[in-house]
């Protein structure tokens, strides 16, 4: 690291890239609040900045506060080799999200699959939670096809589709394990009667994937409200997109 690439940020010398990444977390935290997906302390974000250094939003902290000041409502931590314990490297010792064990298990699993600088975004989008109360959408294939068929871009922006995890207590190991399983074959996971989780290399792209799926859900629900079952793009049209965009 070049000397002038670092700035002193409390207890840690935070490099320029990590500062930019944390700024993007704050940007997305603001979107989650503005979108009405982040009631009270709903949702959480974690980012692997580099090596074993992570930024986590704090437990009980509000996204609207993270948006204003990510280092006052979240923490930078160094995760130990066991991927369970950690020590603070940020000046403030804000306790990480209650979903810390599940986020860490997901980051570890993604690293084992070859991904680096991973991001986990969990949030509570109303429309997606609403349809997770309907039995037929607890089937990942039905859900994915229904949402993909609402607008062509969704086939491209969420190429692996949406996985589904049945209800488990928030923050539980069962929820983490089932989520990791689904992430092998899907980009975004719907947690029954709770929310969604997206992973990737960029926090804004994780937001974009969720935002696109919410739009698809809204269009589905608007069409239903307008009086019937929406037609949706047909199999041929979806396949045409897959071929054209190498999906
Ligand atoms: O951080 O959303 O699932 C609060 C939650 C837990
Ligand atoms: Zn939640």
Pocket of ligand 1 (CB under 6 A): 41-44, 97-99, 122, 170
- The secondary structure of 61-73 as a DSSP string is --HHHHHH-TTTS
What's residue 7's pLDDT?
A: 36
Question: pLDDT tens digits, residue range 179-209?
Answer: 999 999 999 999 999 999 999 999 999 999 9
Report yes or no: 133 and 156 within 8 Å, Cβ to Cβ.
no
Partners of 88 in the beta sheet? 77
Question: pLDDT tens digits, residue range 65-104?
Answer: 999 999 999 999 999 999 999 999 999 999 999 889 899 9
pLDDT confidence bin for 14, thresholds 50/70/90: confident
pLDDT score of 167 more than 90: yes
What letters, b where the CB count within 10 A reaches 16 and e where it falls short, cover 88-125?
bbbeeebebbebbbbbbbbbbbbeeeeeebbbbbbbbb
Catalogue all structural domains in the chain, each as residue range(s) with its CATH number.
1-99 (3.40.225.10), 125-247 (3.40.225.10)
From the candidates 16, 39, 87, 99, which is the catalytic residue? Answer: 99
The verdict on whether 99 is a catalytic residue reads: yes
Ligand nearest, relative to CA of residue 42: 1
State in Å: Cα 180 to ligand 1 middle: 17
pLDDT confidence bin for 173, thresholds 50/70/90: confident
pLDDT score of 32 more than 90: yes
What's residue 5's pLDDT?
A: 35
Write out the E strands in 99-219: 119-123, 162-165, 188-191, 195-200
Partners of 50 in the beta sheet? 53
Name the percent of the chain lying above pLDDT 70. Answer: 95
State whether residue 86 is helix, strand or coil.
Answer: strand
What's residue 89's pLDDT?
A: 94
Q: Is 230 exposed, middle or buried (0-12, 13-18, 19+ CB in 10 A)?
A: middle
**Ligand 1 atom with the shortest distance to the CA of 60:** 1
């Amino acid at each position: 690291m070049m000397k002038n690439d670092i700035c002193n940020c409390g207890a840690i010398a935070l490099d320029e890239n990590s500062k930019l990444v944390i700024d993007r977390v704050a940007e997305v935290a603001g979107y989650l609040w503005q979108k009405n997906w982040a009631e009270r302390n709903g949702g959480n974000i974690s980012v692997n900045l580099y090596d074993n250094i992570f930024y986590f939003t704090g437990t009980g902290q509000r996204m609207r506060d993270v948006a204003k000041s990510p280092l006052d409502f979240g923490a930078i931590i160094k995760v130990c080799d066991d991927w369970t314990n950690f020590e603070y490297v940020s000046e403030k010792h804000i306790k990480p999200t209650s979903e810390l064990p599940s986020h860490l298990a997901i980051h570890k699993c993604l690293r084992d699959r070859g991904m680096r600088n991973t991001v986990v975004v969990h949030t509570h989008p109303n429309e997606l939670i609403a349809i997770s109360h309907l039995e037929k959408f607890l089937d990942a294939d039905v859900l994915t096809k229904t949402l993909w068929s609402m607008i062509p871009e969704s086939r491209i922006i969420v190429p692996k589709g949406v996985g589904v995890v049945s209800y488990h207590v928030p923050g539980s190991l069962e929820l983490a394990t089932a989520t990791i399983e689904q992430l092998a074959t899907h980009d975004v996971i719907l947690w029954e009667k709770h929310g969604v989780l997206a992973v990737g290399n960029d926090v804004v792209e994780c937001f974009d994937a969720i935002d696109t799926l919410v739009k698809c859900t809204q269009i589905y629900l608007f069409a239903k409200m307008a009086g019937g079952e929406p037609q949706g793009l047909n199999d041929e049209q979806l396949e045409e997109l897959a071929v054209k965009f190498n999906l």
